């Protein structure tokens, strides 16, 4: 496990766009986010291809990977913050310099489609990465909750998981300890098998999903695919985040239908990560505990920045 250095006032944050292009209103939103971060005493550096849309649906895979590699190579950059989510951050896998990343460990943060990138970097290098708000989102959120969570985790080295509005509840009782892995359900499902598959053995899996794009039947499809590929035979615990669909069917109901009584691992639900305002920052690659017998049902037990 490689732990990145904490963020300090005056440090430079590099912004990259591994998913959808930064076009239209996104350009102004990115500039507003930059102003917010600079007001707090940090510097912001945009990657060379941040505003590229060379494929007309995103920058090319090589452009995206070039930006990520350059940010890791740049000694000035202390944190790499992904601009927004989208559809195809996995396109970078072929072109990332994993040895360069391993030799220049830095904070990497993002959520949604960035799930692919962060989990793969951790899998290939051992660098702890982070599921947290995207850069653009701090300018578009109605509150500063998620931005404060970023500062608490990376600048103050806090291990709190956004307790204030977490709303933890037990779905299945138990106790588990393991490294955290996961993020968005759709993207995690995409790394269950194949050349870039993840190792779920002994892990605590955290999952959220965007109900606007994924109806309950499709969420069930994703979860059954994971079951059929033995993910639930390997994990030690499951932590469910936000899922809001017009049907009002809860993700935990879908999960319970999929896993039935076949598995004994604990399952908890919370309201502090996913496609919502209240996004805490979850480290990928460090250990956590699930304990359904206490109020703080998920707890980080290892430092994730130093």
Query: Based on the domain organization, do 61 and 189 belong to the same domain?
Result: no
In a domain, 289, yes or no: yes
What's the pLDDT at 164?
A: 60
Query: Based on the domain organization, do 132 and 184 belong to the same domain?
Result: no
Q: What is the pLDDT along the chain (306 residues), one digit of tens a residue?
A: 999 999 999 999 999 999 999 999 999 999 999 999 999 999 999 999 999 999 999 999 999 999 999 999 999 999 999 999 999 999 999 999 999 999 999 999 999 999 999 999 999 999 999 999 999 999 999 999 999 999 999 999 999 998 666 789 999 999 999 999 999 999 999 999 999 999 999 999 999 999 999 999 999 999 999 999 999 999 999 999 999 999 999 999 999 999 988 999 999 999 999 999 999 999 999 999 999 999 889 999 999 999
* CA 12/CA 244 separation, integer angstroms: 35
* Domain's final residue, options 154, 189, 213: 154
* Domain's final residue, options 128, 154, 180: 154
What's the pLDDT at 165?
A: 62
String of DSSP letters for the chain: -BPPPPP-TT-EEEEE-SSS---THHHHHHHHHHHHHHHTT-EEEE-TTTT--TTSSS--HHHHHHHHHHHHH-TTEEEEEE----S-GGGGGGG--HHHHHHS--EEEE-TTHHHHHHHHHHHH-B-EEE---TTHHHHSSSSHHHHHHHHHHTS------GGG---EEEE--EEEEEEEEEEHHHHHTTSSSTT----TTPEEEEE--TTT--HHHHHHHHHHHHHTTHHHH-SEEEE-----TT---HHHHHHHHHTTS----EEE-SSSSSSS----EEESSEEEEETTSSS-EEE-S-S--
For residues 141 and 277, the answer to whether their CB atoms sit within 8 Å is yes
What's the pLDDT at 167?
A: 85
* Domain's final residue, options 137, 154, 171: 154
In a domain, 3, yes or no: no
Query: Based on the domain organization, do 205 and 292 belong to the same domain?
Result: yes
For residues 176 and 204, the answer to whether their CB atoms sit within 8 Å is yes
* CA 303/CA 306 separation, integer angstroms: 7
* CA 151/CA 158 separation, integer angstroms: 9
Give the range of the structural domain holding residue 211, as residue numbers without chain letter. 163-300
* CA 188/CA 182 separation, integer angstroms: 6
In a domain, 5, yes or no: no
Query: Based on the domain organization, do 52 and 90 belong to the same domain?
Result: yes
What's the pLDDT at 68?
A: 98
In a domain, 254, yes or no: yes
Looking up residue 134, the CATH number of its domain turns out to be 3.40.50.10740
Query: Based on the domain organization, do 98 and 226 belong to the same domain?
Result: no
Query: Based on the domain organization, do 296 and 188 belong to the same domain?
Result: yes
Query: Based on the domain organization, do 16 and 150 belong to the same domain?
Result: yes
In a domain, 222, yes or no: yes
Q: Which residues contact 126 (CB under 8 A, 6 or more apart)?
A: 1, 2, 102, 285
For residues 52 and 119, the answer to whether their CB atoms sit within 8 Å is no
For residues 300 and 178, the answer to whether their CB atoms sit within 8 Å is no
What's the pLDDT at 153?
A: 98
Query: Based on the domain organization, do 149 and 167 belong to the same domain?
Result: no
For residues 24 and 34, the answer to whether their CB atoms sit within 8 Å is no
Query: Based on the domain organization, do 169 and 149 belong to the same domain?
Result: no
Query: Based on the domain organization, do 17 and 135 belong to the same domain?
Result: yes
Query: Based on the domain organization, do 133 and 17 belong to the same domain?
Result: yes
Query: Based on the domain organization, do 132 and 59 belong to the same domain?
Result: yes
Our count of domains for the chain comes to 2
Q: Count the alpha carbons within 13 Å of 231 in the hemisphere toward its beta carbon.
A: 28
Looking up residue 242, the CATH number of its domain turns out to be 3.50.30.60
What's the pLDDT at 292?
A: 97
Q: Which residues contact 232 (CB under 8 A, 6 or more apart)?
A: 226, 238, 259, 262, 263, 265
In a domain, 4, yes or no: no
In a domain, 260, yes or no: yes
């Amino acid at each position: 496990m490689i732990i990145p250095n904490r963020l300090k006032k005056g440090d430079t944050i590099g912004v990259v766009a591994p998913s959808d292009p930064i076009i239209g209103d996104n350009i102004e939103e990115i500039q507003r986010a930059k102003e917010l971060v600079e007001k707090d005493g940090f510097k912001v550096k945009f990657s060379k291809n941040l505003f590229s849309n060379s494929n007309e649906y995103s920058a090319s895979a090589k452009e995206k990977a070039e930006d990520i590699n350059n940010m890791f190579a740049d000694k000035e950059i202390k944190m790499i913050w992904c601009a927004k989510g989208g559809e195809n951050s996995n396109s970078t896998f072929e072109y990332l310099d994993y040895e360069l990343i391993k030799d220049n460990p830095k904070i990497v943060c993002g959520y949604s489609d960035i799930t692919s990138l962060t989990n793969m970097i951790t899998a290939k290098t051992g660098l702890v990465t982070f599921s947290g708000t995207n850069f653009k989102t701090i300018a578009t959120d109605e509150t500063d909750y998620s931005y404060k969570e970023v500062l608490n985790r990376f600048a103050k080295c806090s291990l709190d998981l956004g307790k204030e509005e977490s709303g933890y509840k037990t779905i299945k009782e138990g106790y588990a300890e393991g490294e955290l892995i996961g993020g968005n359900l759709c993207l995690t499902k995409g790394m269950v098998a194949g050349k870039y598959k993840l190792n779920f053995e002994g892990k605590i899996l955290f999952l959220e999903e965007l109900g606007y794009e994924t109806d309950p039947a499709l969420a069930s499809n994703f979860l059954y695919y994971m079951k059929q590929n033995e993910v639930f035979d390997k994990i030690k615990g499951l932590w469910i985040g936000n899922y809001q669909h017009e049907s009002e069917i809860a993700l935990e109901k879908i999960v319970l239908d999929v896993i039935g009584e076949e598995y004994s691992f604990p399952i908890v639900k919370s309201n502090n990560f996913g496609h919502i305002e209240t996004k805490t920052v979850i480290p990928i690659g460090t250990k956590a505990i699930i304990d359904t017998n206490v109020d703080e049902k998920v707890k980080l037990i290892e430092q994730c920045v130093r």
